[in-house]
A and B are shown apart, each in its own frame.
Chain A
Amino acid sequence: MHEPLDVAAADAYLRDARCGGLNLFVGTTRQWTGTRETVELAYECYEPMAIKEMQRLVDEAKARWPIERVCVLHRLGVVPVAEASVVVGVATPHRAAAFEACRFLIDELKVQVPIWKREHYTDGTTEWVQGAQPPRVEGEG
């Protein structure tokens, strides 16, 4: 989605009477990376696959933890400094699982979901961010 992400709406969606805790991760645009100053990030996405991958990750998380509610939202297009690019939230009966599942989802999202960010620096230059090297697919290479 290209609009600002609504953390309050995510929180409201994640409230569940069966749950004792929810964990939310909000990824924001950081101004400084070493000595370079970022004005904004721009995100590009292979949308149908990104949605499929997010669903696959949610299914995997649900198989591993007793998740009652979950949301994974990623903003596309331009995201200015301090605004949210990603919101991941998980509600579970007990808090440990909420933390673990939320961490799993954001860690996997950053390796598996086909979204790419481009840094726009204050000096006018731009640069595609090179993501983490994913594990090789079985049978590949």
Chain B
Amino acid sequence: MDKTIDNLDEAVSGIPDGAVLMIGGFGGSGAPIELIHALIDRYRATGSPKDLTVVNNNAGTGKIGISAMIDAGMVRKIICSYPRTKDHESFASKYLSGELELELVPQGTLSERIRAAGAGIPAFFTPTSYGTDLAEGKQIQEFDGKPYVMERWLKADFAFVKAELGDPHGNLTYRLAARNFNPIMCMAADTAIAQVSRAVPLGGINPVDVITPGIFVSGIVEVPDPQQEEDLIRAGEVY
């Protein structure tokens, strides 16, 4: 079994129009910039994939990454908790003009919905958002005298994540707090693609150090010395 993919072009080749795509990372940490940019390259060259639904904590910052996807016109809908980052013009202009749909989800509910999808839990109850606008239309149930909101799992067709080490079975580790949404997105997507800073042979990761077991990962592509989103934003890069 070897899940290694030769290059970024091939890694992003399977994503069809209309796909739900989870993109890991929180801020620049753990953001799979090279995978995102390879997908933009494909869209620019072929017009596909378009009408994507993107799941991320944010809705893009600056003029790279998810913002660049939005600018390119590939994105139909964003599911996120916090689209109002410091520089969110790409999102703002298309959202306010009605070209881009937004599903706003509290951050903990977002992560729990993603995990639930990976764990085969179609719905769960949470205290979060009870009594607020974000609970409108949702089933409410009391447990032990306290009201809770029912939330559904959130599945994806594909996930892009950024990992540190990856082996041919798809086992992954992450650098520091670059873990964030990446492990749960691997669980929730039919096909999870990881860009790894270093591909190691089988046995190159101690079994107790694996953070994402390979069963959740369909492919890994090595991207040595990956770009850091935060650096690109600070440098004012435009993709």
- Chain A partners chain B: no
